[in-house]
Structure 1
């Protein structure tokens, strides 16, 4: 039976053997939600990069450039990290270069060793879980966290995935048990539970509550972004 584990922050990723694991990168508020929504709306590819400076190097190649730091759009870029920027009108048939505070870093770190890296969010949770059930591979749920610290929202999503996979996977660590317990406590009112989270408070100060509400909606999308070489593409 394959195992499922939860890594609560990228700072702990070095502790996990992931060479034969599918890593699901989780950055619910908002990178992985926005990426998922972008592919659902027809984006061709999204190139995740670590730094704003890396994003700048693509400026003359005809790509859309998206950069976010500390929840805000970086000056001089096309857009940031809001899912509402990834509309069909804006992203269909486009390649986007994206850097975010937490999510894109986690993707690049996982790519160095993982068997496969995919992107998970509440927007595509059932599609992701169905895919994982079909692969018969170990799974690591990698929470992007906040600047290498634990956060509630990513761990809550990890628990939601564990809840869907308990029958076919061996839950292999206490982080997974804690994530599942958290989700069971919060599942009837995700937004209410997350009002306690520090990142939720940061986003409220930025007046983007609509983003938060949207990112907690399950199964609006069937797209599963997968990292192939340097690009995220839609899994087929």
Structure 2
């Protein structure tokens, strides 16, 4: 089988891809998928991604941690948002988290409707993810969550990092993969410096979460790969 690797630069383009036999890697490095990876790595039993803030409320009072973020800020009345520092072992081990975010959870819901399998990627689990993808006999689509359906740099850079690591095991690359890899190779020595050009970077600076950004750009802190099973993300076994 000729394994393909493709990059979907924004969820708005997802309808162009036939992903019925693909592994889809959902990418929202600042910060949703980084927090998901970190939370599962730190022993969270499961993370249930929901599309709307109101959906979180249906889980209230049942022992779940409720997490909601919109436009980069914690929604009032929720335990926390999507800062990775909320997903430490002390806070999440043995817990199930119900999470909604501006972009990442939306991309997960779109992917699950037609993909063969959906997993979550971030710089934090880059090597573990790539090692696993190499062993799978399936084509891969890297789905960048972007920002409200627009292209963004940080998710594309991560997609480029995956393409760069998987180059030997796959035969077909689309132009988006080539572009993503070129961007990554240009940026990889100083990801944070490169991302200072990005629009999201300016939004994040106004939110005063530089520590989050730096944290999310670290590679290989985690080995967990969250996989969507039914309604929940759990650790891939």
Q: CA RMSD in A?
A: 0.6
The 5-angstrom pairing of residues 87-106 of structure 1 reads 87-106=88-107
d(CA) in 2 for partners of 1:151, 1:114: 23
d(CA) in 1 for partners of 2:57, 2:200: 27
> 1:75 maps to which residue?
76
State the number of aligned residues: 236
> 1:158 maps to which residue?
159
> 1:189 maps to which residue?
190
> Residues 182-234 of structure 1, C-alpha deviation per residue, up to 9 Å, x if partnerless?
00100111000000011111111111100000000000000000000100000
> 1:211 maps to which residue?
212
Unaligned runs of 5+ in 2: none
Moved runs in structure 1, 4+ residues, more than 4 A?
Answer: none
> 2:130 maps to which residue?
129
> 1:10 maps to which residue?
11
> 2:33 maps to which residue?
32
> 1:223 maps to which residue?
224
d(CA) in 2 for partners of 1:101, 1:56: 16
d(CA) in 2 for partners of 1:116, 1:224: 12
> Residues 47-101 of structure 1, C-alpha deviation per residue, up to 9 Å, x if partnerless?
0000001111111211000000000000000000100000111100000000000
1:171 Cα offset (Å): 3.5
Matched, 1:119 2:120: yes
d(CA) in 2 for partners of 1:149, 1:218: 25
TM-score (norm 1): 0.99
> Residues 160-185 of structure 1, C-alpha deviation per residue, up to 9 Å, x if partnerless?
00000000112431111110110010
Q: Secondary structure at the match of 2:61?
A: helix
TM-score (norm 2): 0.99
d(CA) in 2 for partners of 1:136, 1:161: 16
Unaligned runs of 5+ in 1: none
> 1:179 maps to which residue?
180
d(CA) in 2 for partners of 1:86, 1:28: 15
Q: Secondary structure at the match of 1:67?
A: strand
Q: Secondary structure at the match of 1:77?
A: coil
d(CA) in 1 for partners of 2:171, 2:95: 39
d(CA) in 1 for partners of 2:173, 2:207: 38
d(CA) in 2 for partners of 1:24, 1:168: 17
